[in-house]
Structure 1
Amino acid sequence: MLLGLDAIAKRSPVPEIRVGLVVTHGKKSAGFTVAGSGSGTAIQRGLTDCKGTLEAPFDAVLQIVGMSVSLQDAIEAKRASVSGAMALVRKLPLLFDLADRRRIAPAAN
């Protein structure tokens, strides 16, 4: 999971925030701190000094940070939960490149 998140982490300046991320898989979970800075996004194991935390399965995390599913929709579908500052967790997509990638529309024949 750490490698997957690191692969899509922004390497350019991002907002200086810290968001907790608990990735679940069945009854197991792993906690991470996603920290933004002027040099990009850093992801560390464990939850450290996070005022807002997102908990979701890995596929839901990717949908949320890729902005293909809104945080609110994921919560309403019971695919994600937030503890602490919701406004902070909503900024999570700003820390990843996945939200910036544009899908290329198929060419019309």
Structure 2
Amino acid sequence: MQIPLQIAFHGLDKSDAIEERVREKVAKLEQFSDRITGCRVVIEVHHKNTSHLHKKGEPYHISIFISVPGDELVVKRDPKDVNVNEDILIALRDAFQTMERQVRDWTTRQRDRQQKQAAVS
């Protein structure tokens, strides 16, 4: 990756364990494409009240932005059901599974485009 991985926490404290899990997930994405130039991951909790206390059970919102040549792949997991993604590890797993499909699809499209161009030449 040309640009260092960016991880942001909003509405919750920074966690070294969660950062390490995100780094592992991003490394796995890089196995599917060596053309990833940057990645930004945002982990958020939207509080329903104005209190600064974190209420147990509030869903985690995960956004992943992957930069590839000429494009940006985006996954935003904003659950509408308050019972969804109460566990941050499950929220991360689900978001990264969706991003993995996008990276694989993008890689396949790029390979197909290159093959068509080679066939025309």
TM-score scaled by length of structure 2: 0.29
Higher gyration radius (CA): 2
Larger relative contact order (Cα-Cα within 8 Å, sequence gap ≥ 6): 1
TM-score scaled by length of structure 1: 0.31
Flag the structure with higher helix content: 2
